[in-house]
Structures are given as C-alpha cells and as structure tokens.
Amino acid sequence: MRAYCKLARRTCSVILSAIVLATEAGAMAQAPAVAQAPAAAQNLQAAFEVASVKLSPPDADPKTGLWSRPGVGRFFASHVPFTLLIQLAYGIDPSQIANKPGWMDSNLYDVDAKPEEGVSLTREELKPCLQDLLQQRFHLVAHMETRSGRGYALVVAQGGPHLTPAKEGHFPGQRHPVSSGHLHAYNCSMAQLAQYLTSAADFPVADQTGLAGSYDIGFDYNPKPEAESALPSLDVALKQATGLLLKPQKVPVETLVIDSADKVPTEN
C-alpha cells in the first residue's frame, strides 16, 4: 500500500517560525480539495514515495521538537505540532492560519518520509509533498483567502537600501542562528525577509520594496520591547542594517482557512 508523505501566540510562534524559516524546502488530482500550491510547485514531485506518520509518545516534549533541513533527500520531524507541518507545507506563519482547532498546537507528531529517488526535497519540492501528506493522512480540507488586517509594509527608507548581494554557498532563505532576537538570513529574497519579519513582529509583513534579487542580511534586535536591552528594537535594527522600514498599515494577508482535519492520522 502506497503511503503518503514537519509562531500559539508570541513566544511559541517566534520560536517555531524562526526555526522553520531557518531550516527551512501538489496534491494528487484525486485528493480532497485543498488550497493549491503555487504553479511552479505543482510541476514538482507531488507526493512522498514512502511515509510514516504517527502521534508522538505521551511524554514527548515540544521543546525537543526538530525536523530536517531542505535539500537532504528525506524529510523527518520529531515531536512537532500539526501547525508546524502546515507552516512547512504552505510556507506560511501561524498568524496566517484561520479556524484552527486547539489540538493543532497541542498534539505532537513524528514524521519520516522519503521522495522518489533523485528528488532532493528543496523547500519548494517539499511543500507539495507535505500538502499531499496532510490531505491523505489527516484528511485536511482547507482553502486560501486573502484577508486585510493590521500589519506592516516592508518599504525602502529615505536614503535608499544598503543591502549585500547574496554570496554562493547557501540555499535560498537559509538562516543561522535561528533564535529569537537574531535575524541572519542568506540568499534571502525580499519576500522571504517579509516572512521572517512577520514572525519577529508577530504581525503580517507585506513586501512593498520593489527590490528583486537575493541578499545576505544580518542583525540582532531586542525581541521583547517591554524589557530593557542594549539591543535596538526590531524596526530600528532593520533600518540600520538594511535601509528598510516597517510601515504600520493594513496589509493583504494570504490566509489558510481550515475546514476540517483528523486529529489522528491514518495508519502507515
């Protein structure tokens, strides 16, 4: 039998998304209707060849959760919530998931999956495989909506940007270190930077810079504005390091609306 193919409010969402975005790579025609992957992703490997999906042991600690980085030809996740699997599958932040039942943050899962031979599972190759896994094994049914909400526009500050073009040796959007208060991204597009800033700001960030290309970006900031720190706030650190600004305004937010899903995955 063919098996199919891993920020909760501020603290959890910042930790989870920072790691996801750091480590961070279509559904089968007969699968239940779910939000479609981008057109480019639909032409990639659509499903894992073999996958094991199960609930983590009752004593599993979410603080020990981990998952594989993109491009290693295999996907594994241990002690991770369903929300995280959705984040990886659709490339979104938890704030972009609507109608989410509580168990999606509390239940933990273990996943071990392999694609067909020769597929490296880059971030874009991984997305449709995980989307298919969530449909087939959890019977996830969801759809995308564009909603308007409070957030920030990422814009170029007066004086223009000062960005370092990406050097070779990093996969797109690679981050290190990957903890709250640090934003060090390599081979990073403005769209990816906006996603990382969404996690850090805890509000949606829309790229309105008009800048193409990829860059190496690095700065540290105070992740808790209410606490005293020698580090600058996120917006100040961003402007100093890149010449970009976070402008408060309502922004369009691509939102994944959960229609239904099973708490317990089907058997392997």
Give 104-124 pLDDT, tens digit per residue.
999 999 999 999 988 899 888
The residues near 93 (Cβ < 8 Å, ≥ 6 apart) are: 7, 13, 17, 87, 195, 198, 199, 204
Residue 90 sits at φ, ψ, to 5 deg, of: -115, 0
In-domain check, residue 177:
yes
Residue 147 has pLDDT above 70, yes or no: yes
161 and 138 fall within a common domain: no
125 and 35 fall within a common domain: yes
Number of domains forming the structure of the chain:
2
**Reported confidence tier of residue 268, pLDDT bands at 50, 70, 90:** confident
Averaged pLDDT, 122-132 = 92
137 and 184 fall within a common domain: no
C-alpha–C-alpha distance, residues 250 and 206, integer Å: 10
What pLDDT sits at residue 214? 97
In-domain check, residue 1:
no
**Reported confidence tier of residue 8, pLDDT bands at 50, 70, 90:** very low
189 and 124 fall within a common domain: no
User: Does 177 sit behind a cis peptide bond, omega within 30 degrees of 0 on the bond before it?
Assistant: yes
125 and 176 fall within a common domain: no
> What is the DSSP code string of 140-185?
-EEEEEEEEEEEEEEEEPTT----EEPPSS--TTEESS-STTEEEE
In-domain check, residue 2:
no
Are 54 and 85 in contact, with CB atoms under 8 Å apart?
no
The residues near 153 (Cβ < 8 Å, ≥ 6 apart) are: 205, 206, 208, 246, 247, 249, 251
Averaged pLDDT, 248-257 = 93
Exposure string for 245-255, b = 16+ CB within 10 A, e = fewer:
bbbeeebebeb
- What mean pLDDT value characterizes the chain? 84
Q: Of the ranges 2-11, 68-77, 189-198, 204-213, which one carries the lowest mean pLDDT score?
A: 2-11
152 and 37 fall within a common domain: no
243 and 184 fall within a common domain: yes
β-sheet bridge partners, residue 183: 219
74 and 128 fall within a common domain: yes
Q: Which helix (H) or strand (E) holds 136?
A: helix 123-138
In-domain check, residue 5:
no
Residue 194: domain span = 147-253
61 and 162 fall within a common domain: no
**Closest by Cα among 22, 57, 42, 20 to 125:** 42
In-domain check, residue 97:
yes
140 and 22 fall within a common domain: yes
CA angle 65, 255, 243 (to 5 degrees): 80
Secondary structure percentages of the chain, helix, strand, coil, to 5: 25, 30, 45
What pLDDT sits at residue 224? 87
SS3 195: helix
In-domain check, residue 133:
yes
